[in-house]
Structure 1
Amino acid sequence: MHLLYPSDPFDPKQVDETYQDEYAAARALGLEASLFCFEDFEAGRLKAHPAIPEGSTVLYRGWMLTPPVYISLVEALRVLGATALTDPAQYRRCHHLPEWYPLLTEHTSETRVLPADADFTQALHGLDWPGYFIKDYVKSLNTAGGALVANVAQIARLVEQMRQYRGQIEGGVCVRKREDYLEHTERRYFVARGRAYGADGEVPALVQRCARLIDSPFFSVDVVQRADGVLRLVELGDGQVSDRKEWTAEGFAQVLKTLG
């Protein structure tokens, strides 16, 4: 397996500072890696340094990509004679909530998926939830008043704020039933080739179930403890574009090594 990281925008021979510790830890374990200019890739050119070996399997570690842009990356790697570890369908399955939600409904907050221009009052008529958590297919709003509203009438305004702050709504709108979670209990796990890993070595049964049900070579699983003590699934993410969160660079690099 060959790793591919974005380079520093001002120095193409250095990894972007966001990934410096991780890159160093991976290289210390003997993992091969290349750097590429993300801006050049956005302009339609993928040139890696050092060159990606022909016939290699590539794991991208970098910024979130929309599924169409990820397809472009996979195609660019194919032109170079390499293969992406995660195919576009697998990327979308973990990157977009509506893709994984039907497989794990019982373990996560009840959700309605609607178009961004929906009449939310009409579409959600009859729901009497204690609150509504709003996000698009990938992310919620982390600025302004946050992603939680008290009633359906407030959703349209929040969606408009998402457009203003983020520039776009990816896919559509996911309206999730508010659940009361205990503070400081959210944890991130990674699944590599069907095996789940935790930063502290422990892996709960819920994460093991996700590892069995989701067809993807590398993804993240976020869980949190609800006020009643039940462990709940917050979200999945493609492992290539997931932050390490509480993981050390060295611990995460050990997981990357298992993919090789």
Structure 2
Amino acid sequence: MPVLYCRDAFNPRRVDEHFALEAREVRACGGAVGLIDHDALLGGDAQRAVARVPAGLGRSWYRGWMIPVDRYAALAEALDRRGVELLVTPERYRTAHELPGWYATFADITPASVWRPAEPGAMVAADDLAALAESLPPGAGIVKDYVKSRKHEWEQACFIPDLADTVRLTRVVRRFVELQEEFLAGGIVLRAFEAFSRLESVAAEVRVWWLDGEPRLLTPHPDSPLGRGLVPDLEHIGPAVRRLGCRFVTTDVALRTDGQWRVVEVGDGQVSDLHRSSSRAQLAALLVSSQDSRQADV
């Protein structure tokens, strides 16, 4: 299968440095590589973004930086005009990429969550946040948008010690919105906090790569300082992935302190990052050798 990568901003004939090794492995496996101008796509010029993609390339994967769902739809349309079809449709991309799309399918195995749409920069009223939080179990929580959290600003823009403390809740959510700026995706999400086991001071978290409903690759979470992790129990997670109906997804799973493996995040595999210690060759071989399974995308 061909793979479309983001091009280097300074050398449009090359793959972005972050994905260059993976692209070389794709070529080594016999796969074709196309280049997309990610900046042009985010700027609203999808036609220019795909100008270097060979016409008639056929069904292809995308592998690169995250794309807002509306821009992904524009990308799919522009590629279609060049005889290129993304293996992940815009509808399936939204389902896996944004929490409201996947949450119901994983509700029993992921922290309780509630959300509301919000525009970038919009300050949600304290009363609205309090009403939203009332739907969650009492105790601590976190705030994120439909795609990302700001866990590296844990105290000021992520963790809420008590969801019933409206003053603290409002302060943390507003700081989160301020820091996200124009990159706020979809809206505000509040999630119940769950305590996870830790290995060498970091959460025992594993990224599982699923293709056509089967776990094909286990890697540490990209933020982990560790080059290896635990092997998760996926028996109760696999059925949910298959019900989701998306071809290529990742699940970030963490070991809760009571010994249960929980799904922390779901993502579209095309825009999921690899840990620095993980094999680019393994992922490349997985993508290139994947079958043209059309029924999974309808």
Q: Same fold (TM over 0.5)?
A: yes
CA distance in 2, matches of 1:130, 1:123: 14
Match of 1:130 in 2: 139
Q: Report matched runs for 1:89-108 at 5 Å.
A: 89-108=91-110
Distance 1:126-1:216 versus aligned 2 partners, 3 A rule: closer
Match of 2:283 in 1: 252
Instruction: Report the more deviating stretch, 111-120 or 134-143.
Output: 111-120
Which ranges of structure 2 fall in alignment gaps of 5 or more residues?
119-123, 220-230, 292-298
1:39 and 2:39 correspond: yes
The AA in structure 2 aligned to 1:167 is E
Q: 2:216 aligns with which of 197, 213, 229?
A: 197
Overall identity of the aligned pairs, in %? 29
Shift, 1:203, TM fit: 6.7
Provide the alpha-carbon RMSD of the alignment: 2.1
Contact 1:132 1:177 in 2 (8 A): yes
Contact 1:192 1:219 in 2 (8 A): yes
CA distance in 2, matches of 1:43, 1:123: 33
Match of 1:174 in 2: 189
Contact 1:225 1:231 in 2 (8 A): yes
Match of 2:258 in 1: 228
Shift, 1:179, TM fit: 0.6
Q: What's the TM-score, normalizing by structure 2?
A: 0.80
The AA in structure 2 aligned to 1:138 is V
Which ranges of structure 1 fall in alignment gaps of 5 or more residues?
none
Shift, 1:194, TM fit: 2.4
- CA deviation profile, 1:159-202 (whole Å, cap 9, x unmatched): 22222222143212111111110124110111112222133798
CA distance in 2, matches of 1:229, 1:202: 11
CA distance in 1, matches of 2:57, 2:13: 23
Match of 2:224 in 1: none
Contact 2:205 2:253 in 1 (8 A): yes
Shift, 1:213, TM fit: 1.2
Distance 1:231-1:94 versus aligned 2 partners, 3 A rule: same
Match of 2:295 in 1: none
Match of 2:150 in 1: 141
Q: What's the TM-score, normalizing by structure 1?
A: 0.91
Matched residues, number: 259
